[in-house]
Copies of this chain bind each other. A is one copy, B any other.
Amino acid sequence: MRGVVMHTAGDVRVEDRPDPEILEPTDAVITLAATCVCGSDLWPYRGVEPADHQVMGHEYIGVVEEVGSAVETVAPGDFVVGSFVISDNTCEICRAGFQSKCVHAEFVAQTIGTQAEKARIPHADGTLVKTPGTPGPELYPALLAASDVLGTGWFAAVAAEAGPGRTVAVVGDGAVGLMAVLAARELGAERIIAMSRHPERQRLARHYGATDIVEERGDEGVEKVKELTGGLGAHSVIEAVGTQESFMQAVGITRGGGHLGYVGVNHDVQIPGIELFFAGIHALGGPAPVRRFLPDLLERIWAGEIDPGLVFDLTLPLEDAAEAYRAMDERRATKVMLTL
């Protein structure tokens, strides 16, 4: 099969890779309908994380081709969406809703690499969710978003306890930040402040439910959000960037006793303990347990209640993956879908 390999930072190639096979009775092999490039794929692309002939990709939708003997909930021919973290969905941690910390957790990005024609998915029952029917390609963007960015933004909004009567502030206007805006609106937030200085993303944020846009960053951004919230800060804050500035900005705009949901992958962030301490806030973050939310999210998409697919602003064939990475790296695209 064809699949993406990042030879080294900046060098993305589509190559022949071995076809995946069932190795464990809990495995499934899927034929991908679509995959995409994630903001987090830019970390190795830019040399911030190592990349040495690394398979890439962790978002995926497709059709089950074959299953192991122990797989019960999906069968060949089923259209499925999976989480970017493998989970058994039966262990104590999964049952508590933290499938991304499953005792069998495995990052799809590191070992499987779904920017490819096919993929072996371990723990298929605990990782994949069948769609209510076979979708047409017009639904692919929305379903693919559920695999990570929607699930992650949704988790962030839940972690931040976005809901009725709450003012939510979202730091980060990438795909996850935009999905967090959508999630906050669906969860009933009263007011949603999107922090963005990018006109096109501001427009999309408003489309998804943002009521206010704040262009300022850092200390100025903190001051601005405080002004908008009677000096107190937001009830619910979502951090969807992962830099020192964005993380501390997010801490700074959370009111005392408020909730911070942080899903931007932290790189070289050092949180001063004393600042977090005196902030007096709830914080919950990390790789999102997307599997917890998938069944609900797929139903909402199927019912036409949400359209997360708009975060894809460029679609290319898998063979053009190198251009997809370039477009995102140069910020010519927010998120690129790769078709097969």
Whether A280 is near chain B, meaning CB under 8 Å from some CB there, is yes
Give chain B nearest CB distance to A84 CB in angstroms.
Answer: 14
Chain B residues positioned under 8 Å from A68 (CB to CB): none
A92-B232, A257-B97 known; A273-B278 Cβ under 8 A = no
Report how far A217 CA is from B274 CA in the complex, Å: 22
A270 touches B267 (CB 8 A): no
A260-313 CB contacts (< 8 Å) to partner B: 262, 265-274, 276-287, 289
A273 touches B280 (CB 8 A): no
A232 touches B273 (CB 8 A): no
B273 touches A281 (CB 8 A): no
Give chain B nearest CB distance to A110 CB in angstroms.
Answer: 13
Chain B residues positioned under 8 Å from A289 (CB to CB): 257, 280
A96-B257, A256-B93, A257-B98 known; A272-B273 Cβ under 8 A = no
Give chain B nearest CB distance to A162 CB in angstroms.
Answer: 15
B277 touches A93 (CB 8 A): no
How many copies the complex holds: the figure is 2
Give chain B nearest CB distance to A294 CB in angstroms.
Answer: 17
- Which range holds the interface residue count of chain A? 35 or more
Whether A71 is near chain B, meaning CB under 8 Å from some CB there, is no
A232-B92, A255-B93, A283-B282 known; A273-B271 Cβ under 8 A = yes
Whether A45 is near chain B, meaning CB under 8 Å from some CB there, is no
A93-B255, A101-B257, A256-B101 known; A276-B266 Cβ under 8 A = yes
Give chain B nearest CB distance to A135 CB in angstroms.
Answer: 31
B280 touches A282 (CB 8 A): no
Report how far A265 CA is from B266 CA in the complex, Å: 24
Chain B residues positioned under 8 Å from A265 (CB to CB): 274, 277
A279 touches B271 (CB 8 A): no
Whether A231 is near chain B, meaning CB under 8 Å from some CB there, is yes
Chain B residues positioned under 8 Å from A92 (CB to CB): 230, 232
Report how far A78 CA is from B282 CA in the complex, Å: 36
A93-B257, A96-B257 known; A273-B270 Cβ under 8 A = yes
A101-B255, A280-B287, A282-B283 are known; give 17 further A-B pairs, CB within 8 A. Answer: A97-B257, A98-B256, A98-B257, A98-B280, A103-B231, A242-B273, A244-B273, A262-B277, A270-B270, A270-B271, A271-B273, A276-B285, A278-B287, A279-B286, A280-B285, A281-B286, A283-B283
- By Cβ-Cβ distance, the 4 closest A-B pairs, closest first, are A101-B256, A269-B273, A98-B257, A266-B273
